[in-house]
A and B are shown apart, each in its own frame.
Chain A
Amino acid sequence: MLIDQAKLDVANTLVHDRYSSIFGGANVGQLDSIIDVIPSSALNNEIPFVQPSGTWERWLDEKKISHLKAYKQTIEFRSYHLTLELARRELAYDSAGVVGRQVDKLMQKAKADHIKIVVDEMVSASGAGPTAFDAVAWLSTAHPQLAAAGGVQSNKTTSALSFTTYDAAQQAMMGYVGDDGQPLGIFGDTLIVGPKNRKMAADIAGPLRPVSVQNSGVFNEQGSGIGGTAQVGGIVLPNVFQGDNLKVIVSNRLVGTQDDYAYLCCTSLADKPFLLVEQRAPELITMFDMNSPSRFHQDKFLWSVETDCCPAPGFPLLTYGFIL
């Protein structure tokens, strides 16, 4: 089979169509609910975060006027890409359609891996994440809200996720106050874990908690595991939290060093835990032409999915991190 420009054009059109169908819809996949995608057309962005500095007061004298205390977060400009090269001979003499499938796979992968851009940023700095608008890390033991009182608030623990630490984290989140000293109304509704904590997260989020019984009469003895040799049956105890209407997201990106990481997020408010400022949505750029430089010099075709975007922390107190 000979390759000519007309055939290349047809192939190129097919690739672009396929790209559009895979990348249709602006979302970042699994973590959509915790990420605010902000379209932008500026090189440098400043995202304002506003908190009122006053609350209801009894009107006795002249009104005390509360003002909005504004913070700003500067977002840098970044570009990301995912690129595939293919020798012309592989394409030209591919009678089985393998090349088409590989290109398809590239685009599926680009779509599936898009979230990597955000997750890499979330777990950066040994899990603390990037610096948020309040000048400390996204997950920090020293968020300076209520700075007037010189106080700090923590949204990070080094304890592992468990029923006890989950309960304590919810307690902490419900106790967060703004600059006006008033509760922010935060309650964790989404729990993000890696595969290692999947069972723990499911136990926490489920309304019932199965407890196995061993033939020794001991509850919950898991030495031999569920269905193990010494297992004789199980009872079901109510989960004290009744699941809290919690949504569990198991991310297979939280593995290795991050396998114990867990994030309890509040997604019900106007602000979101994390931001993705996107100047250019993922876009397919190709060197798919007999006269393109890479074909001319190296006899190769190139496909690249490119995007200009920068992940950044949203309002940090919307997340409680279990970082260990």
Chain B
Amino acid sequence: MNEPIVEYKNRFEAGNHFQDRIRNIPLKILRVVVNASGLVFEGECLYPGTYDIPVYADRVPAAMALVEPWPEKVAEAKRLFEADDAKATATKSKGLYLNWVHAYRMLCGGEEPKPFDSCVIVGEGPPPKSDDEHKAAATTQAIVESILRTHAAVPAADKSKK
């Protein structure tokens, strides 16, 4: 099992023990076409649509593994299920398939459909930051958020006193 790779964008993770491993890994911009709701990919919650996502180069294979290998089977499975469902409704009997994913599994030897319709590298991300840049960014962000929270909390407290 590989060490998990955790992205930088979270201030809490700046400087954690995963950082050394990814410090010099470049970013790639992936254009993904998503067909599933609620897919958490590299820290983003994705819904059906097209996204450009910066991904560390060594996570690109993980993204590619989520691409649907047989799009024509998806269409076929949906067609099969709809026909079967219509027939079952008309005859008030139990259909062959629970849903189109069930039909897809029957067609593809138990495999489940994948959440990406496509995934291509459309460009290079920004170059890796130096250690100092990371530390400076993390420090600034932590201070700013702390100040924001403190100041956001003060007026509410004052109001309650009056």
Contacts and interface: CB of A to CB of B under 8 A. Distances in A.
A238 B146 contact: yes
Interface in B107-159: 112-115, 135, 138-139, 142, 145-146, 149
Contact of B112 (A141, A153, A240): A141
A14 interface: no
Contacts of B135: 218-219, 221
Contact of A151 (B10, B44, B45, B48): B48
Contacts of B98: 71, 133-135, 144
A143 to B, nearest CB: 8
Contacts of A164: 6-7, 9-10, 13, 43
B14 interface: yes
Given A141-B66, A203-B12, A134 B112 contact: no
Contacts, number: 159
B142 A134 contact: no
Contacts of B41: 157, 159
Contacts of A221: 15, 135
B114 A141 contact: yes
A224 B133 CA distance: 20
Given A135-B99, A152-B113, A160 B146 contact: no
Contact of A176 (B38, B48, B145): B38
A157 B149 CA distance: 30
B25 interface: no
Contacts of B4: 159-161, 260, 324
Interface in A184-212: 203, 209, 211
A222 B40 contact: no
A320 interface: yes
Interface in A141-161: 141-144, 146-147, 150-155, 157-161
A22 interface: no
Max count, chain B CB within 10 A of own CB: residue among A157, A161, A165, A324: A165
A300 to B, nearest CB: 41
A217 B135 CA distance: 10
A229 interface: no
B43 A211 contact: no
Given A150-B78, A158-B62, A172 B101 contact: no
Nearest to A175: B38
B47 A240 contact: no
Max count, chain A CB within 10 A of own CB: residue among B12, B35, B47: B12
Interface in A166-188: 167-169, 171-173, 175-177
B17 A222 contact: yes
A144 B40 CA distance: 17
Given A150-B78, A219-B139, A136 B112 contact: yes
A322 to B, nearest CB: 8
A48 B50 CA distance: 36
Given A151-B48, A158-B62, A257-B1, A142 B112 contact: yes
Interface in B1-54: 1-2, 4-7, 9-10, 12-18, 35-45, 47-48
Contacts of A153: 36-38
B101 A168 contact: no
B47 A141 contact: no
A146 B102 CA distance: 14
B1 A151 contact: no
A34 B44 CA distance: 26
B80 to A, nearest CB: 13
A152 B43 contact: no
A155 B37 CA distance: 9
B101 A141 contact: no
Contacts of B102: 134-136, 144
B16 A141 contact: no
Contacts of B13: 162-164
Contact of B115 (A133, A142, A147, A223): A142
9 contacts: A142-B36, A147-B101, A150-B100, A154-B38, A160-B4, A162-B12, A175-B45, A218-B135, A260-B4
Given A140-B112, A172-B39, 10 more contacts: A136-B101, A136-B102, A136-B105, A136-B112, A143-B101, A163-B13, A167-B43, A171-B38, A240-B145, A260-B4
Interface of A: 71, 133-137, 140-144, 146-147, 150-155, 157-165, 167-169, 171-173, 175-177, 203, 209, 211, 217-223, 237-238, 240, 256-257, 259-260, 320, 324
